[in-house]
Structure formats: C-alpha cells, structure tokens
Structure 1
Amino acid sequence: MTVVDWLLDADPSMRRLVQRDLLGVTPEPRALVERTGWGARLLALAGPDGLWDGGACFPFSFTFSEPGQPWTATLHTLQTLQILGLDPMSDSAQRIIGLIAAHGRWEHDGQRYFDGEVEPCINGRTIEAGAYFGVSVGPLVERVLGEQLADGGWNCYPSPRSSFDTTLCVLDGLLAFERATGGSEEVREARRRGEEYLLARELFRRLSTGEVVSPGYLSFAFPYYWHYDVLRALDYFRQAGGFDPRMAAAVEVVRSKRQPDGTWLLDRIHPGRVFFDFEEAGRPSRWNTLRAMRVLDWARSSAVGDLG
C-alpha cells in the first residue's frame, strides 16, 4: 500500500482532500462529510440551540478546574468542521449556523456569536467561520484591522509585541474573508503586514536572536485549534499565494520529519476535553501526512532550487 492509498483508505473528509490536493482529480461529493464519518458525528453532537457542549468558546459546564482547555465548545467544533470540508451551504450547516447566530453568546460579556468578542485570536477564527458559512462579519474584520500592532501582527494580550499564534488565527480569518467577499485593499494590506511579521522570523525564529521561539512550533498537532506550528503556517501560505525564500527553513523542518515509510507522525494532541480522538499521538497521522505532502508539493513547484 502506498502512502496515498493509505490516505484514501480513511474517512470521506480525508479522501476528498487527498483527491483534490494530492491527486488533482474531482473529489467525492461534499455531502459525504455531512452524512458519514467524523463530520456526521460532530454534527450529531450539536445541541438543540445549535451550540456544542452548551458554550461558545468554553463548555457550559467548564469550571477551569480540568486539565487543558476543553475543545468541545462551538468555536473549536466549527473550525474542525471547516477543516473536514463540510459543505457550508448544506441544510445541516445552514440550520446550525442560523441557530448559533440566534442563540450563541460569548462567555466574555454575552456578545452575539458572529459579532465576536475582545480577543483577536478568537475573533480571527470567528471571521474564518463566518466567511466560510456565509455570515456577514464585516464589522468584526474592521475591528481586527484596527487592532493590528506596529510590528504587523496581533496579540490577544495587551502588548506592543505580536504573537505567532494570534497572528496566524487572524490571517486565516482575513484570507477566508477575502475569498468569500473579494476583500478590500485595506484587508489585503493588513494581511501582507501580518505575513511579513511571520516571514521576517522565518516562521519560527526570534527576530532578535534567531533562536527558535518555542519547541512547540516544530511539533505538529491535529486538530490545531488556536495553536501555531510551522506546518499550519506553511499550509496557510500555500493557500494564500506565492512562495517566499524565507520559508525555506520551515519547509526543511517539515521535510525532515518524514518517516522512513513516507508518513508523518502525530507529534502531540493539545490537552483538553474532546468528543473523540481523530488519531493517536506518536503514531502515523493521516492529517499531518496529507498537510505535509501538499505543503512540500507546493514548495517544490513554487520555489527555486530543490527543497526535497
């Protein structure tokens, strides 16, 4: 069995992405994500009000006493369904989104779900979901544009310095908004500045010393939620456009983690409550393998020189 065969022998959401991104063929119908496998399981877990586990960012029952951050609330589940490729115009998706718009309130101060709250990392992901599912999020985009820091990125905490994690969450949202609406020159310029923040640091280094900012940035998890790593960053740039030579070191990190059998491992799982595990940490990961293979294919076809 080849690596691609192994990837195809999986959940329909995975098969569709392999067909589209690696094989370049017409993928199976999106309806399969809604009806079977991981997508159907997650949809079935939504409450009558459209929320997952009774909350926007945190489950209704969360008391901050359990280990890790729970990942069962609406924000994280919507992001996962986007990654799985749920058809945003399907009856199930539109019903859920309508319910979330009507009933979803942020734990911060009861703000309506698609109005966002105060943290750019949360608002970037809310913009991404809104754009994907056809919700108007223009005012929230304006908010995050006004919160861009002088160094080009964003941070969820009061600081003159940006955060890799927050910056990528906002960039994901702005890119989705551009794709859904055409965007504006203001949005494109903000996104370019945010990208430059990451590129100036080669996607994982400190600007001041060149040292690795965090070992976690070189460790690949799935789902990633709000967490940053270089595979997630490169996958963003793959979707956003052209290759920049300053990505080469990050590409080499991805290439170096390929196992002898051609797969990539699930390096870790971000701790916290989940509905179910997609994969097992320390074992070959279809999600990391798919993402790594399409990033390396893109880098090879875009960059000058051999990137493995």
Structure 2
Amino acid sequence: MKVMDILLGSDPAVRRQTQLYLLGEENPYSDDGWVGEFLSCYNTETHTWGNGIYGPKWISTFYTMRDLQSLEIMWNPEEFVEDDVCVVAMFVSLLTYGQHPSQVIDEMIQYLLKWQMPDGGWNCSAVYGTSRKSSIHTTLSVLEAYADYEKHGYRNLLPAIKEQIPAGQAYLLRRNLMHRESTNEIILPYIVQFHFPTRWKYDVLRALVYFASIKHPYEPALEEGLELLKKKFEKGYLTKGPTHSGRLHFKMEKNRFGAMNTLRGLMVLKEYDQGFYEDLLHREIQVPHA
C-alpha cells in the first residue's frame, strides 16, 4: 500500500487536507470522524469544552479549538482576552481562522508587536520582567499568528508585522531550528520528536511546517531539520509520535501510523525536496497496526 492511499483512507479531516495540500483538489468540509467526536464533547449548558476556557489541559475550550483548527473545521470562534504573549498569539491564529472582526484581533497584534525582544524572538515571561531571552515556543507561536493574520486577509497592521518577521525567523534559523547558540546542543530533547497535536510546544516539524506554509525560500539553515524529517520517513511514513501529558477527549490516532504527522511532513517535503516527496508517494509501505 502507498502512503497516499493510507492518507486518503484515513479520517475525513486528514483526507480533506491531503486532497487540498498534496493533490490540489478542493473537498467539502465534514463533521464526521474526529471533528464529530470533538463536537460531541461540547457542553451545551456551560458552552465550553472541559468546563473551562484555558484549563484543564488538553480538554479545555481553548485547546479543543486549537485541535479543531488543526483539523480545519469550518467554524467561528468566540472572543477571549489573555495577558500572555504565547496564548495571545495562539488566540490570534484562532480568531483569524474564524474570520473574527478585526478590532479585537488588531488589539492583540498591537500587544504582540510590543513584546518582540532584542534577540528577535518573543517570550511569554517577558511580560512579567522575568526573562531577557526569547523562547522557541513563543517565537514560533507569534510567527504563526503573523502568518495567519496575513493568510486570512487582515491588512491593518501588516506593515508593522512584516518589519518584525525577519528577525523572528532569524532567531529560529540561527539555531538550525534545534540547537542552542551557546553550546550547539539540542535545545530540548523532545523537540526532535514530532508531535500531533503540538499544543503550545515547539518541535522541529512544527517549525518546518511554518516555513513551508509561507513558502520561505530554501536556505542552508533548514537543511538539518529537513534531513531529520527525511530520516524519520525511513519506513515511508511518520509515526504519531509521543503525546504531551494531559487529559484528552479521545485518542485521534490509535496505532503507530501518524496520519497527521505524515501529511504535515509530506507538505514540507513537497515544498523543499520534490524528488524525495515523489519517491515517498511511489513507495510501497506496510501499515503498522500497533
């Protein structure tokens, strides 16, 4: 069996994104599969998931909405206010995806613009004066928010955003997406593993997906991350990877084959290594069942 056949036979959300991003085919949204299971967990009395806004992780309204966004559900999010750079950035991504009116989103963008640090990135703890260095987690969340602001048609603060983006990207690229500048060690052991859902945490695949999604030109600083990705495709697919601890509504993927990780990895390779991408599509693979 080939990897494309597996993805097209997977959950409707995976199938739709495979058709859209790998095959260039439009496909209707569906409330079946994982999306339907998430929707069935919604509490119509409290109008929340998990009876909370930001907690408990990962069944709260915020993180459920993040999961639904990753599955590209058709929906309109509500308005939230939060005083944390990383969380505000993730809210911007949610609200722009839901085409929320620009006033609240622009207020959030103004907040993010205020907190870029001298090294080019962002850190949630900078708001409280406890850090002088940026965080890979927060920096990627802000860059994703800025990309979503432009992608979904918001323009008011685009010039200011574009002034900050190169320094934010350089913050990650100087590290080849994974190394400490001071010692060249891997920043955190788990970032070279690929997770889905990513939650608020950084990993190399999430960074590669960001750069591929904005069609950032290839540069040598991406090469180590791309080589890591290709190595993990050794069996023709990516595994579902480890999960971040916390409560779940349900397990989206129950065997070792990671449909969403595989899809995301193929999207990156389609952008940066067409030959390797084509080879994967033609390779016969054995589907793991455990």
Q: Would you call these one fold, judging by a TM-score over 0.5?
A: yes
TM-score by length of 1: 0.82
Residue matched to 1:134? 99
Residue matched to 2:193? 219
Residue matched to 2:238? 264
Q: Deviations over 1:100-158 (max 9, x none)?
A: 33xxxxxxxxxxx1xx3121111110010011101231001100110111111111222
Residue matched to 2:151? 179
Secondary structure of the residue aligned to 2:89 is helix
Any stretches of 5+ residues in structure 2 without a counterpart? Answer: 276-290
1:301 positional shift? 4.7
Residue matched to 1:22? 22
Any stretches of 5+ residues in structure 1 without a counterpart? Answer: 60-69, 88-92, 102-112, 303-308
The one of 299, 302, 307 equivalent to 2:272 is 299
Tell whether the 8 Å contact from 2:215 to 2:271 is kept in structure 1 after alignment.
no
1:171 positional shift? 1.1
Q: Deviations over 1:231-267 (max 9, x none)?
A: 000000111222222111111111111132x111122
Residue matched to 2:8? 8
1:227 positional shift? 0.8
Secondary structure of the residue aligned to 2:273 is helix
Q: Deviations over 1:197-239 (max 9, x none)?
A: 1011111111122221111110011111101100000000111
Q: Could you list the structure 1 runs, at least 4 aligned residues long, displaced by more than 3 angstroms after superposition.
A: none
Q: Does 1:74 align with 2:61?
A: yes
What code does the residue aligned with 1:172 have? E
Which has the higher relative contact order, 1 or 2, with Cα contacts under 8 A spaced 6 or more apart? 2
The one of 22, 43, 64 equivalent to 2:39 is 43
Task: Count the aligned residue pairs.
Answer: 264
Q: Deviations over 1:63-94 (max 9, x none)?
A: xxxxxxx200111111111111112xxxxx23
What code does the residue aligned with 1:81 have? L
Distance in 2, Cα, partners of 1:85 & 1:132: 9
* Farther-moved stretch of structure 1 (129-138 vs 181-190): 181-190
Tell whether the 8 Å contact from 2:53 to 2:61 is kept in structure 1 after alignment.
yes
1:57 positional shift? 0.9
Q: Does 1:164 align with 2:136?
A: yes
Q: Deviations over 1:166-223 (max 9, x none)?
A: 1111111111112221342111122222111101111111112222111111001111
